[in-house]
Chains A and B, each alone.
Chain A
Amino acid sequence: MGRFSVHITDGGRTIYAQATDEELVARVLTGDGTAFAPLVERHKRGILNFIHAVVRSAEDADDLSQETFMRAYAHLRTFNPKLAKFSTWLYQIARNTARTHLAKERRRPPSEDLFEDETLEQKLPDQHHSSPDERVIARDDERLLHSALQKIPEKMRTALVLRYYRHLEYQEIADTMRVSLGNVKTLIHRGKSALSHALSAVEATQLARAQHARPEVAHREVLCV
C-alpha cells in the first residue's frame, strides 16, 4: 500500500481509476474525502443487493446500504488491511447493519404482503426474459424465492446470498461471517435444504391464495408455481 496507481485529472476532479480499495482507503485517511466516492461507486451494487436479499423491502435496503457506507466512513480508521480485504470488511458492516434492522423488525408485526418491493423491481431491466409472460413468471418466481429466503435463519440466508447472489468464495464468506470454512459449508448445505422446504411452504400458501383470488390473478400466480 502507499503508491497510487493512477491519478487522472479530469476538469479539476481526480479520478482514481485503477487504485485498489486499500489505496483509496489510505487516501481518505490522509484527508482526501473525495477518494471515498469511488469506493461507494464500486461496492454500492453488491452491498445493495446483499442487503436486499437479507431484509424484506427494497426501500429499507436502499437506506441500510447508505447507512453501511456511512458507518464504514466513520470507522475507516479501524479497517486493517492486514486482517481482511476492504470488501470483506464492508460486507461485515452491511451484515451487522442488516441484523440490527432485522432485530428492530422482529418487534413489529410481520407484513403479509409478499409483493412489497414491486415499485423498485419494476424499474429494473430484464434482459433474460423476452416475452411479457416470461417476465411476469420470472418476477413472481423471484418474489417467492425472496419470501422463502426470509423464512430461513439469518446465518443460512447470509451464507446462501453471499454464495449464490454475490458469488463469493467459501473462504471469503467465512471471513465475512467470522465463522470457520467448515461452518460455511454446513450453513450452505443446510440453508439449501431449509430454503427448499420454505419455498414449498410459500408456494403452497400462494397457491391457496390464488384459488381464493379473482380468476385472472389466480391464473397468473398458478403459472409461477
Chain B
Amino acid sequence: MKCSACKARLARYREGDLSAAAASAVRDHLERCQGCQAFLAELSALEARLARVREIEPRSDFTQLVMARIAALPSPARAGQRSRLWWLGMYDVVAWVLLAALAATGILHWQAIVGEGGLLAGRLALAGADLYRIAGHFHLGVYAAAGVLIESLAAIAIAIAARRTLRNVGNNLLGARAI
C-alpha cells in the first residue's frame, strides 16, 4: 500500500469503518511506515484538541428574547389556515391576468373568444336539451348527476394530491435552503 492510500484511509481506520481486509492492510503499512505513523499521531492529537473545546453558554435571557421577537410574527397556525384556499384564488387571478395580457397584446382576440364562447354555449344548450330529452326518456338524470359529482370529487382529489406531491418534491429538492 502506498502512503497516499494509507493516509486516505486513516480517518475511516480510526473510526473502525474499514473492512477487515482494508483495516489489516492499513495496519501492516503503519507498522512499517514512520511517516504514516506520524500522520496518525497528528490526526489523533487534532481530534483530542477538538474534543477539548469548551462549549459557550447562551445568554440567560436567550429564550425570552426569541419568544418576544416571534410574538411579532404571524402564527404559523394562522398562516396555515389562510393558505388552504388562497392558492385556488391565486390560480384564478393568474389565469385572468394572463388572459388579459394575451388579449391586450393582440395574441388573443377577445371578440373571437366571446363569439366562440357564445357558439359553444349555444351548441351545449342544444346538446343539453337533447341529452335532457334522452335522459328523461331513460330516467338517467340521477345517474348523470352522480357521475358529475364523482368526476368533480375526483378532480378535486387529484388537484390536492398534485399540490401535496409538488410541495414534498419542493421540500426534498430545496428543503431548508429556501428558509
Mark A residues whose CB is within 8 Å of B.
28-31, 33-34, 36-37, 40-41, 44-45, 48-49, 52, 58, 61-62, 65-66, 69-78, 80, 83-84, 89, 92-93, 96, 120-121, 123-126, 128, 138, 141-142, 145, 160, 164-165, 178, 185, 188-189, 192-193, 195-196, 199
Contacts and interface: CB of A to CB of B under 8 A. Distances in A.
Interface of B: 7-8, 10-12, 17, 42-43, 46-47, 49-59, 62-63, 65-67, 69-71, 73-80, 83, 168, 171-172, 175-177, 179
Contacts of A29: 76-77, 80
Contact of B50 (A48, A49, A145): A145
Given A33-B75, A78-B171, A189-B8, A62 B59 contact: yes
A178 B63 contact: no
B74 to A, nearest CB: 8
Contact of A164 (B47, B74, B75): B47
Contact of A28 (B63, B76, B172, B177): B76
B163 to A, nearest CB: 14
A196 B45 CA distance: 10
Nearest to A127: B54
A142 B50 CA distance: 8
A41 B62 CA distance: 8
Nearest to B80: A77
Contact of B70 (A33, A49, A52): A33
B96 to A, nearest CB: 28
A136 to B, nearest CB: 14
Nearest to B42: A196
A74 B76 contact: yes
A165 B50 contact: yes
A78 to B, nearest CB: 7
Contact of A73 (B12, B56, B73): B73
B179 A71 contact: yes
A62 B57 CA distance: 10
Contacts of B65: 66
Contact of B179 (A52, A75, A124, A125): A75
B131 to A, nearest CB: 45
Nearest to A82: B168
21 contacts: A31-B78, A33-B71, A40-B62, A40-B66, A44-B58, A44-B66, A52-B56, A58-B56, A61-B56, A69-B66, A70-B66, A70-B73, A77-B83, A80-B168, A92-B179, A96-B176, A128-B52, A141-B52, A165-B50, A185-B11, A192-B46
A113 B59 CA distance: 23
A28 B76 CA distance: 8
Nearest to A58: B56
A41 B57 contact: no
Contacts of B43: 192, 196
Contacts of B63: 37, 40-41, 44
